[in-house]
Homo-oligomer: A and B are copies of this chain.
Amino acid sequence: MPTLDFWLEYASTYSYLAAARIGPLAREAGVTVRWRPFLLGPIFQAHGWNSSPFNIYPAKGRYMWRDMERLCASLDLPLTRPARFPQNSILAARVALIGFDEGWGEDFSHAVYSAEFAESRDIGETGTITEILGTLGRDAGHVLEQAQAAENKARLRGQTEEAQRLGIFGAPSFTTADGELFWGNDRLETALAWTDK
């Protein structure tokens, strides 16, 4: 089956939508999805931004939250605007790398987005991640140890650097084997169709 790389950032609102939608759509399209968690922080810093553009440009931020409300309503997805935005997504991304190695990465991703954007919890807190790991039946202490190991930290840095090399500047993004980049939840269907053509 053809493969599409799905670049997701756990602090990103529109990545929440794409993560919720990509499974069924990919199955329908006959495309295998490779989930590639990465961090937007270093990429935004390279743009001279010390926060999300949705905070730096208030009109854009107001629009994004209203757009999310409308989209979540139409997709029947819960949405609660978190007290802090963007949240610190480093720990979630590090844990996710372990999860994708071991086959529970997708479930973990959905649980992280749900905690963050539906339950008003802070995914930057170790307690939140520990609890999520518990609900997934994982040994949280062991997973966190693997996640925080120097080797795994370097792996996440490498993945973020690869995103940057591929020209990625936002999330979600999708990349194909033949070198196409698609940006945004709005391009998910197009990216799948391109992969499958």
B60 near A169 with CB under 8 A, answer: yes
Residues 36-75 of chain A: 1 if any B CB is under 8 Å from the residue's CB, otherwise 0? Answer: 0000000000010000000001011011001100100000
With A47-B57, A57-B47 known as contacts, the answer to whether A62 contacts B167 (CB < 8 A) is: yes
CA distance A67 to B57 in the complex (A): 24
The 8 Å CB contact of A181, one of B57, B63, B181, is B63
Q: Does A125 contact B (CB under 8 A)?
A: no
The 8 Å CB contact of A167, one of B59, B182, B190, is B59
Give A contacts to B, CB under 8 Å: 47, 57, 59-60, 62-63, 66-67, 70, 167-170, 180-184, 186, 190
B169 near A66 with CB under 8 A, answer: no
Can you list the 8 inter-chain pairs with the closest CB atoms, starting with the nearest? A59-B169, A186-B186, A59-B167, A60-B169, A47-B57, A63-B183, A62-B167, A63-B181
Nearest neighbor of A49 in chain B, beta-carbon distance: B57
Nearest neighbor of A181 in chain B, beta-carbon distance: B63
CA distance A170 to B53 in the complex (A): 14
Query: How many copies of this chain are found per oligomer?
Result: 2
**Shortest Cβ gap from A16 to chain B (Å):** 18
**Shortest Cβ gap from A17 to chain B (Å):** 13
> A70 to chain B: which residues have CB within 8 Å?
180, 190
CA distance A116 to B61 in the complex (A): 31
A181 near B47 with CB under 8 A, answer: no
**Shortest Cβ gap from A147 to chain B (Å):** 29
The 8 Å CB contact of A66, one of B62, B181, B186, B190, is B181
> A182 to chain B: which residues have CB within 8 Å?
67
Nearest neighbor of A170 in chain B, beta-carbon distance: B60
CA distance A47 to B190 in the complex (A): 31
> A67 to chain B: which residues have CB within 8 Å?
182-183
Q: List 5 A-B contacts (CB under 8 A).
A: A47-B57, A60-B169, A63-B181, A66-B180, A67-B182
